[in-house]
Structure formats: C-alpha cells, structure tokens
A and B are shown apart, each in its own frame.
Chain A
Amino acid sequence: MAERTAIIGSRVGLHARPAAIFAEAAGELPVEVTIALETEPAEDALDASSILSLMGLGAEYGTKVVLRAEGEGAEEALDQLVKILEIDHDSE
C-alpha cells in the first residue's frame, strides 16, 4: 500500500474546479486511488476519481488529506496526484 499526505493548495479549498481537475487525473490512472481527511481512518476513504466525493470532503485551503493506492505504478500515481492537490488552481 502506497500512501502520501498532501496539503490542499487551492485558496478556496477543494471546490468544483480543482476537484474536477483532480478527479479527472485520478480517473485516468491505472490504479484505484482513495482519498481521506488526515483525521479520518483509512476505511472511511473515498474514491478519489469521484468529483462529488471530493467536494463532499469539505477540504479547505491548508487541510491535510491522505491518498492511498495499491499495485503496480501506485507510487508514481500518488506522486503525480499530490502535485495537483498542492497547486493553487485559482491563481492560474
């Protein structure tokens, strides 16, 4: 099991636009990735490719979230996703 902790970099939190970018990227990966707030147990983790789950997390700017994946390519996949979470998409 690969695991990464990321800090939300979007000023307004993981709202529609950053969530869309992230969900789309997660959906294109060869492995299934889950996301959970750092404060929540792994079994409550949600599908990272679901935009509605991401928005429902209520993750704000600076919130720590944990990404998890298993299998071949998991490490690379998570590295890629962490980068997306930590960018402030609203400053583009």
Chain B
Amino acid sequence: MSTHKVEKFSGVGVSAGRVIGTVRRMPDAIQAPADGAPLPAGATIDSETARLAEATQAVAAQLKARAALATGDAQAVLKATALMASDKSLLKSATKLVSSGTCAESALWEAADAVATQLSALGGYMAERAGDVLDVRARIVAELRGVPAPGIPDSETPFVLVAVDLAPADTATLDPAKVLALVTSDGGPQSHTAIIARSLGLPAIVAASDTTALADGDVVYVDGIDGLVVRNPTEVESATARTYANREQLPEFDGRGVLADGHRVPLLANVGSGTDAQAAAKAGAEGVGLLRTEFCFLGREKEPSHEEQVAAYGAVFEAFAQKKVVVRTLDAGADKPLPFLSDSTEPNPALGVRGYRTDTTSPGVLARQLTAISEAAADHQAEVWTMAPMISTPAEAQDFAALVSTANLATAGVMIEVPSAALMAERILERCDFVSIGTNDLTQYTMAADRQLGSLAELNDPWQPAVLHMIAATSAGAQGAGAKPVGVCGEAAADPALAVVLVGLGVNTLSMNKRALSPVAAVLRTVDLATAQKLAQLALRAASAEEARSLVRAQLPELDRFGL
C-alpha cells in the first residue's frame, strides 16, 4: 500500500453485503517449467540437489503447520499431502534427473508427473489422489521459484479475496469463515464466482476490471449491493459497513411465500441432486421449481442406465412428498457439454444444438429419460411436472408435450429462455400446461451477450428493462391461454428486490437457491400485490438496468433493514 488516497472501483454487485477487510490476491496458476531445462547458471549438481531437498522440506513443513491447525477430514488430507511433499521416492527420482543435469523445477515436475500418471492408471479413488500429487508439485515449484503457492491464499485472519476469476476447483476449497468477500476483475453475474458467493452468503462483486490494481495488504470496502470497491475507505464507508454488520437478522423461512395482503407466491428451490433436495426441504422450500437432471449425466461418457436414472430422480421426489417437483429434462450443450450428446465442434454452442434441440440429433435419450422420470414418479408421492429447456417455437412445445404424455406423465411445460418463446407464450401455452422462465439464458439471448463474458456483465443483468418486457410478455401470454402458471427459476428470483418486480409482472412462483428463500420471503412480506405491480411498471419504464434497480430499491426501505 503505497498511498492512502481513496480510490473507487466499480463492478457488478452479485451478492449483497458491505464489509471492510484486507486484500489477499489469488496467486497466478503455476506454469509448467520447460521440459528438461538445464541447471541454472552457476549451480552445481550438488547445490541444485540441496535446493530441491530444501524446497520439499519447506513445503512439507508449511502443510504440516496447516494440518496442525485443521481438524477432522481436512487435517487428514493435509497430513497426507505433507507426507507427499517430503516423500523419499519422489525426491529420489527428481534427484536422479538433477544428477543428469536437469534443473530442480523441471526435475520435480517430471518426477511428480510419473507418479500422478501411475495413480491415474489405478483408477477410482487412487486416480482422484493424482490431483493431490499435482497440487503438491505446484506448491514445490512455487517454493523453488519464490512465488506464492497456488490456490486460495492461506491466512490466519479473514480477508477479501481478489482474483481475476475463480474456477470451480478454487471455490471448492474456499473457507467461508476465512473469506469476507469476493471481488473479481472478470466474470459476470451468472459466473461461477457469483453463484458460489450467493450460496455461501458472501458479499461479492464481479467484472470490476480495474481491481487488478489491488494488492495484498490493501484495505478495502466492498459493497456487494452497489457494486463498489473503495481502497483506503473513509469514515463514511466504515459507517455503512457498521450499519450492515448490525442489520436485523432475517427471520427463518417458515415455508410459506406470501405478500403483505395474503397473495400467495409459493417459493420453491432449485436443486441438483437428492442430497440437495433434502437440504432444500429442510430450509422450508415449498417444492422444487427446477430439478437440474444433468447431475446424473455430467462427467459421463455414456448415457446412464434406466435404473440409475430412476433411483436418482426418486431420491429427489422422496424429499418432497405431496409437493410439486418440476423436472427439467437434460440441458446439455454450451457451458455443460456431454460427450454422447454434444457436438464440440460447433462454432457457437450457445446458439447451437443444445437443450431440447439434442432430441433431433440424438433421438431416444429424451424419451428414455422421460420413461425413467415417469417410473420414479409412480414410485413416489411428489407431484411431478416435467419441462424442456431451450424451446423456441409452439411446435416444439407441442412435440415435447406429446412425448411427456406418451411417457404417462401428467403435466408438461417448457422453459422460456429464448426471446421467441417469450413473445409466443400464448401459442406455446395453448399446447402445454405451464412455463418456467430461465432468466439467466433469457437475459443472454435478449441482450445478445455471452453470459460467461465479464466484459459484457452490464448487458448480462436481469434488471435490463428489455428482459423485464420479455417476462411481462410471457405473463400476458399465460393469461391469454387461460391463466396458466408462470414460474421463474433463474438467478433473478434470488434477488429480493427483483423478486418483487417479478411478482408484479404476473409471475406465480419463484424458484431459487435455498439460501435465498429467507431474504426473498422477508421482502415479499413487506409489499402487497398493488405495490408490486406499481414497482414492476416503474422498472418496465426505466431506460437502463441501473435505473430500474435504483427506482425499485428506493421504494423498498425494508431492504436496508435486513442489509439486502
């Protein structure tokens, strides 16, 4: 920290919260050393061997120290990795390479590679441990180079994690007790960072491109509500952070989504597995608004068997007896390719054969999935609704509804993610029973902005009035087709202020990450339907996402009370 000048950085707030903390930057990934690079100038085989041994000992000592502070499984894993770092056979094979004139970095890289390959070949559990060996390798090479170890920084005190973007593997090791907030210079509102931040309840800002200037030790104020980062905050920011820290605790969700006037808005959960479903039921979810069935397909070379599918879906239905579970059929393609369905050579996968469209290129997979859903539904008491992703035309909706009916499933619907489907909602709903709006994709397609691109984060905002107009058109279509049900199952439903707007636009049910149930329920309870409709009109008339958000938020003072 060279100066104490107050500096502001703006980005997109994706998870609420206001905190002040010290910056720790996510270190860059370790690049592989050149194959068989020679000893550094001036080094001898002896000195290089000693340097290698010292680095392995230093890494083993660091990991051991961390193990001593950890408990349970984490401790066992750290202990094992510490032993790997100081492993005699690894050091021996690396030392052999050094003796033949290879530098320590390349020698260790190659030696560890051989071990990892051997473990991978064993398959199963051992193959997973190959990742641990590669992690240890990266740590030793970082030590040799004198750069910070890769991965989430280790710190005894909580910190603000600043990164370019976070990968799923990084967020898996993220300890919410150590991280105060997340700030990324890249990534968008639907990025992995945003999703994980919301699920952990951590304040987060993405697409704050200038934050690459932040360095370890900087003191920053992070405002996940206004999308603002302030370096060297003043008393003004400290006061806001204090107000946030003293916010009123949200009441626990009591399992009934309702407006102030008693108008019911069932709040459901988005889930991706049986375990997820149990946790959602425990959190009070009134059903499942989106069951992502990819969980039983991802990472698979082949289509899972009928029995496997029946068991997987049944585990979810089991958790919601007598309640609604909306099953989304396989949504492969674009950001989640499946080897047996996706054509990875498409130049533009987001606009390619994905979702329901794979039924034309790989016929049979969908019909078999529907048969499995039907059998699981018959075995359980849940009220099962089935919907297809990526529907563009009324004809597709009609074909899907026919497939659903052939599988002996009672209720068929489609997702509204493509603008054409939003505009044709009435014709679509004449051919099926319900629609569910996937706001993440609807935003990306309405704004023609790749949801994975941080530089387009401003466009990729569900508060964009054009997206809200698409939702209004969908509701109007649903009314025209005999008041058929409209749900929202995208990230938009998890934003309490936007949830009010959605209800005002005519949406009947909201489905979200289980953590959002309590904030959304608390805010819905403070408005009546007439107010929600008035706020929806305000948002529809706004000229920008920013304007829509601030106009609506200004009318919802309760947001501040709960620090949302």
Contacts and interface: CB of A to CB of B under 8 A. Distances in A.
A50 B94 CA distance: 14
22 contacts: A13-B125, A15-B129, A16-B76, A16-B80, A16-B129, A16-B132, A17-B76, A20-B79, A46-B89, A47-B88, A50-B88, A50-B89, A50-B90, A51-B84, A52-B84, A52-B90, A52-B133, A53-B87, A55-B119, A55-B129, A56-B115, A58-B122
B126 interface: yes
Contacts of A51: 80, 83-84, 87
A7 B79 CA distance: 24
Nearest to B90: A52
B129 A20 contact: no
B73 to A, nearest CB: 9
Closest 10 CB pairs of A and B: A50-B89, A20-B80, A51-B83, A16-B80, A58-B122, A52-B87, A53-B89, A50-B88, A17-B76, A56-B118
Contacts of B115: 52, 56
Interface in B114-147: 115, 118-119, 122, 125-126, 129, 132-133
A57 B40 CA distance: 35
Nearest to A89: B76
B135 to A, nearest CB: 12
A81 to B, nearest CB: 16
A23 interface: yes
Interface of B: 76-77, 79-80, 83-84, 87-90, 115, 118-119, 122, 125-126, 129, 132-133
A12 interface: yes
A86 interface: no
A24 B80 CA distance: 9
Given A16-B77, A47-B88, 12 more contacts: A13-B126, A16-B76, A17-B80, A19-B80, A24-B79, A24-B83, A50-B87, A53-B87, A53-B89, A55-B129, A56-B119, A56-B122
A50 B77 CA distance: 16
Contacts of A15: 125-126, 129
A58 B126 contact: yes
Contacts of B133: 52
B129 A23 contact: no
A12 B88 CA distance: 24
Interface string A46-71: 11011111011010000000000000
A77 B80 CA distance: 22
A16, A52, A55 pick with most chain B CB within 10 angstroms: A52
Contacts of A55: 119, 126, 129
Contacts of B87: 50-53
Nearest to B73: A17
Contacts of A13: 125-126
A24 to B, nearest CB: 7
Contacts of B77: 16
A51 B122 CA distance: 15
B94 to A, nearest CB: 12
A53 B88 CA distance: 9
Given A16-B80, A20-B76, A49 B129 contact: no
A16 to B, nearest CB: 4
Nearest to A14: B126
Contacts of B126: 13, 15, 55, 58
A23 B245 CA distance: 47
Contacts of B80: 16-17, 19-20, 51
A76 to B, nearest CB: 22
Nearest to B136: A52
Nearest to B112: A52
Q: Please indicate which of the listed interface residues A20, A24, A51 has the most CB atoms of chain B within 10 Å of its own CB.
A: A51
Contacts of B122: 56, 58
Nearest to A56: B118
Contacts of B84: 51-52
A51 B133 CA distance: 11
Contact of B88 (A24, A49, A56): A49
A49 B90 CA distance: 12
Nearest to A24: B83
Q: Which of A19, A20, A49, A55 has the most CB of B within 10 A?
A: A55
B83 A20 contact: yes
Contacts of B88: 47, 49-50
B56 to A, nearest CB: 12
Contacts of B129: 15-16, 55
Contacts of A12: 125
Contacts of B83: 20, 23-24, 51
Interface in A14-49: 15-17, 19-20, 23-24, 46-47, 49
A80 B84 CA distance: 22
A35 to B, nearest CB: 11
